Chains A and B, each alone.
Chain A
Amino acid sequence: MTKKEDTGFIDRVWNFFASVKLAIVLLITISLTSIIGTVIEQQAAPEENIKVISRLFGESIAPTLYNIFLKMGFMDMYHSWWFVALLLLFCCNLIICSFDRLPRILKIIREPMVPIKDESFKGVAIKRELRLKGNLIKVSNETAHVLKSFRYNFAEIKEEKNIQFLTQKGRYSRLGVYITHFSILLILTGALIGGLFGFKGFLNLPEGETSTVAYSRNGNPIPLGFAIRCNSFDVEYYKNMDMPKAYKSDLSIIVDGKEVERKTIVVNDPLTYNGITFYQSSYGMVPGADGKFILKVVSKNGIEKVYDNLKLGDSFDIPGTSMSAKILDFSPALAINDKTGKPYTYSDELVNPAIYIGVYDKGAEKYRGWILKRYPETSNLPEGHKIEFVDYWGVKYTGLQVRNDPGVWVVYIGCITITLGLIIAFFINHKRLWVRLSEEGGSTRVIFGGSANKNKLAFEREIERMVRVLEGGRK
């Protein structure tokens, strides 16, 4: 007695989880609750959301409502216990539903087709009938030929006075839906792996400095297992505009004091080492940093020298000549006033860095002028020498997002299989075709019967074409 009730209960639970009704209810519930999180800003400062709530519901009840919402987890909704529970329920639903149906589907796929007993093919979705001259053998040969030319492999069932051809195509397409569903589970699994075993951090790394850790959101250091150095950071601008074209960080990975990898990363092209990926994310100025000017000096006859340790006020030689130069002034963002023609600095950021250079021959000053980093044409001296302003180095830091996500490949594989699954589910048909031939008097009666799980119209047209070929081939 008790045993029977037991299975009854388990069956009921199983059926509950296997039902598509539950799936629909869950899809709708998750959708509706998700909306909350798009209205209330997630993981934000309380004041921000109190403002939003008072705009929606009125000033007076906003603080109370805020506290209620906070308790319900709305402020970090997608990680709240009840939302995660909904997602879990959704997964259970998907898994149990698949287990429930898959055996039946596999049976449909594996089972060989059986001939249709009913002579006039009653109840078959698509039907075409024709009568052809000639005996059974002749017509069956012709029919076999047509089926082959339409790329159908068939089984032939001979009875006393009739022959039936059985053939089907695309039966595995029935698995498309299950590939789709499985992919959803795969993607969620990947996300879970990432959440459990990965980390998210950031690192602000000044030029020339090395770090062996990144930092989590609340500032705790996360050891990397190797060291990373920022060799330099640079912003490239669009021509004649202050609009950044690229943020570039030249990074080195250092293991046991040796550089093992070096790459210049930009946004959309990160550096990965040992499963840890560094993304270009922001940049800034290091307060109170002592910068160095890096200049590349090329004399008229091609002698080149790089100075990488110059300070404001320092002098340097132009190689192969008796000339020297001195850095007299520096501006992080130089512009020329349209009216007065006077230069001025328009920003504290390193938007358009420029140095003011005095040039001397044997100690006597020849001339002075500005050299701009972003405008290489300003580096030419009248004598044909060149002083290129390569960088003002050591004052910037690069802001890196540091991520380790061992689950991302699972997610990506899931993305690929879900796409395949959907294409199979929507665009590949499972088509079944029966052709029955029977000799009646001097001629042969041919009946085509077909069924398809979707796009019946297209299959009907295909059968129509087969019939026409069969008829046409006889003329």
Chain B
Amino acid sequence: MSSTFFGISTLSYIAAMAIYISYLAFKKKGIGIFATSVTVFGFINQTIALLLRWSESYRLGIGRAPLTNLYESLIFFVWTLILIYLIIEFKYKTHVFGAFVTPIAGLALAFIELSGMSKNIEPLVPALQSNWLIAHVMISFLGYAAFGVSFATGLMYLILRSDNRRQGIYIFWTICVSIFIIILAAFGIDYIHYKAVSSGQEMIIKEHLFESTFKNPSLAIDTVSWLVSAGLIFILWRYGLALKRLLHSFSLSVEILDEITYKTIAIGFPLLTLGVITGAVWANTAWGVYWSWDPKETWSLITWFIYAVYLHGRFVRGWRGKKVAVLSVLGFVAVIFTYLGVNLLLSGLHSYGSMK
């Protein structure tokens, strides 16, 4: 039951992403309203899906909040991201941010599809049966969603504040956006490729991630992938100022972007702190160690530090504008790395890390 609603919401968000981007291009008010309606529709469906999944778990006799595995936590992340986004859209009365926030939801949803992670409601192994864990996941993802918004507004700020192609921040944001697009595209190609190859067979795509592109056994495809990526970075770099002009035409004020970036970080930072704390308490009740410097813990600490630098830079050193906007983007990159990179990249180097 719930999976139908999840499916509808996923499609809605991906459609909304396209509509928001075309709104950016065509600037028709009607398109903006349409984009918002589709997002709201997706959000309602997702809310129903989450509630259904919760009650389904009780029917299966497992009874627990839908927040305990990677699939559920990513779904919850998307849900909160959209919620926060809708609140901001309502408050600041503009659809423009949508073109920057919905792709983050798109990335998360694409990752869910790709990684072949289990969507079943599975009983919990003993270590995961903890209310601290549920609190930990819920609080962390609320924080991540707030940071997701600050990432989007920080990025827009950088775009609006760049003047020429030699500027450091210009190069920074064009590379960031390119990498984002490249990863999303590589995920998509992997997905299409393995769906075709495996022909309906269950297959963990995660273990073959990027094998259709960057890690392809064929050297030619490998090279082409890197060349295409370099090309994309170049194109974005060459024509990125057009995006700036486009954003400019919406007469967004950079002050408001800066303010939203700060406000969402001010919400995200205490949540991240509390998330790390509840995680530590959980570890302590389960194993008697609240901190063990494992890669995930360490990366969440690094994330925490980056946002601490943002706060001190802004409030004590009086950094304004570009410098702190760069930090808000880097902070969210660290968030993504904490959540996905540790599992995908570092676990490729070692034996630890699983899709649990």
Chain A positions within 8 Å of B, measured between CB atoms, are 20-21, 23-24, 27-28, 30-31, 34-35, 37-39, 41-42, 48, 52, 55-56, 78, 191, 200, 238-239, 241, 243-247, 266-270, 277, 279-281, 401, 403, 405, 408, 411-412, 415, 418-419, 422-423, 426
Residue B129 is within 8 A (CB to CB) of chain A in the complex = yes
In the bound complex, do residue B308 and residue A27 qualify as a contact, i.e. CB atoms below 8 Å apart? yes
Shortest Cβ distance from A206 into chain B, in angstroms?
A: 21
Residue B284 is within 8 A (CB to CB) of chain A in the complex = yes
Residue of B with least CB distance to A76: B293
Residue of A with least CB distance to B293: A78
Residue of A with least CB distance to B131: A268
Residue of A with least CB distance to B133: A268
In the bound complex, do residue A21 and residue B286 qualify as a contact, i.e. CB atoms below 8 Å apart? no
In the bound complex, do residue A419 and residue B126 qualify as a contact, i.e. CB atoms below 8 Å apart? no
In the bound complex, do residue A245 and residue B123 qualify as a contact, i.e. CB atoms below 8 Å apart? yes
Contact partner of B127 (CB less than 8 A), chosen from A239, A267, A277, A411, is A267
Residues of the B chain whose Cβ atoms lie less than 8 Å from the Cβ of A415: 277, 280-281
Residue of A with least CB distance to B349: A52
In the bound complex, do residue A34 and residue B302 qualify as a contact, i.e. CB atoms below 8 Å apart? yes
Residues of the B chain whose Cβ atoms lie less than 8 Å from the Cβ of A48: 350
Shortest Cβ distance from B305 into chain A, in angstroms?
A: 5
Residue B13 is within 8 A (CB to CB) of chain A in the complex = no
Pick 10 A–B contacts, CB within 8 A, sort by A. Answer: A24-B309, A24-B317, A27-B308, A37-B298, A38-B299, A238-B123, A244-B126, A267-B286, A268-B129, A268-B282
Residues of the A chain whose Cβ atoms lie less than 8 Å from the Cβ of B287: 279, 281, 401
- In this complex, how many residues of chain B approach chain A with their Cβ under 8 Å: the count is 45
In the bound complex, do residue A39 and residue B346 qualify as a contact, i.e. CB atoms below 8 Å apart? yes
Residues of the B chain whose Cβ atoms lie less than 8 Å from the Cβ of A21: 317
In the bound complex, do residue A279 and residue B349 qualify as a contact, i.e. CB atoms below 8 Å apart? no
Which among B126, B302, B342 has the highest number of chain A CB atoms within 10 Å?
Answer: B126
Which among A24, A35, A408 has the highest number of chain B CB atoms within 10 Å?
Answer: A24
What does the 1/0 interface line of B304-344 toward A look like (CB < 8 Å)?
Answer: 01101100110011000000000000000000000000100
Shortest Cβ distance from B113 into chain A, in angstroms?
A: 26
In the bound complex, do residue A268 and residue B130 qualify as a contact, i.e. CB atoms below 8 Å apart? yes
In the bound complex, do residue B126 and residue A267 qualify as a contact, i.e. CB atoms below 8 Å apart? yes
Contact partner of A270 (CB less than 8 A), chosen from B61, B281, B285, B309, is B285
Shortest Cβ distance from A408 into chain B, in angstroms?
A: 7
Query: Which of B164-172, B210-218, B226-234, B268-276 makes up part of the contact surface?
Result: B268-276
Shortest Cβ distance from A205 into chain B, in angstroms?
A: 16
In the bound complex, do residue B273 and residue A279 qualify as a contact, i.e. CB atoms below 8 Å apart? no
In the bound complex, do residue B346 and residue A419 qualify as a contact, i.e. CB atoms below 8 Å apart? no
Residues of the A chain whose Cβ atoms lie less than 8 Å from the Cβ of B288: 200, 270, 277, 279, 401, 403, 405
Q: Knowing that A38-B295, A41-B350 are A-B contacts, what are 12 other residue pairs whose CB atoms are under 8 Å apart, sorted by A's residue number?
A: A24-B309, A27-B305, A31-B301, A34-B301, A34-B302, A35-B302, A238-B123, A268-B132, A415-B280, A422-B270, A426-B266, A426-B269
Residue of A with least CB distance to B301: A34
- How far apart are the CA atoms of A270 and B277 in the complex, in Å? 19
In the bound complex, do residue A38 and residue B342 qualify as a contact, i.e. CB atoms below 8 Å apart? yes
In the bound complex, do residue A34 and residue B298 qualify as a contact, i.e. CB atoms below 8 Å apart? yes
In the bound complex, do residue B302 and residue A31 qualify as a contact, i.e. CB atoms below 8 Å apart? yes
Residue B355 is within 8 A (CB to CB) of chain A in the complex = no
- How far apart are the CA atoms of A347 and B109 in the complex, in Å? 39
Residues of the B chain whose Cβ atoms lie less than 8 Å from the Cβ of A422: 269-270, 273
- How far apart are the CA atoms of A281 and B285 in the complex, in Å? 11
Residues of the A chain whose Cβ atoms lie less than 8 Å from the Cβ of B299: 38
Shortest Cβ distance from B326 into chain A, in angstroms?
A: 13
Shortest Cβ distance from B191 into chain A, in angstroms?
A: 26
- How far apart are the CA atoms of A31 and B305 in the complex, in Å? 7
In the bound complex, do residue B316 and residue A20 qualify as a contact, i.e. CB atoms below 8 Å apart? yes
In the bound complex, do residue A39 and residue B277 qualify as a contact, i.e. CB atoms below 8 Å apart? no
Contact partner of A246 (CB less than 8 A), chosen from B126, B277, B282, B293, is B126
Contact partner of B126 (CB less than 8 A), chosen from A31, A78, A268, A401, is A268
- How far apart are the CA atoms of A127 and B332 in the complex, in Å? 38
Residues of the A chain whose Cβ atoms lie less than 8 Å from the Cβ of B293: 37, 42, 78
Shortest Cβ distance from A276 into chain B, in angstroms?
A: 10
In the bound complex, do residue A268 and residue B286 qualify as a contact, i.e. CB atoms below 8 Å apart? yes
- How far apart are the CA atoms of A418 and B312 in the complex, in Å? 16
In the bound complex, do residue B350 and residue A52 qualify as a contact, i.e. CB atoms below 8 Å apart? yes
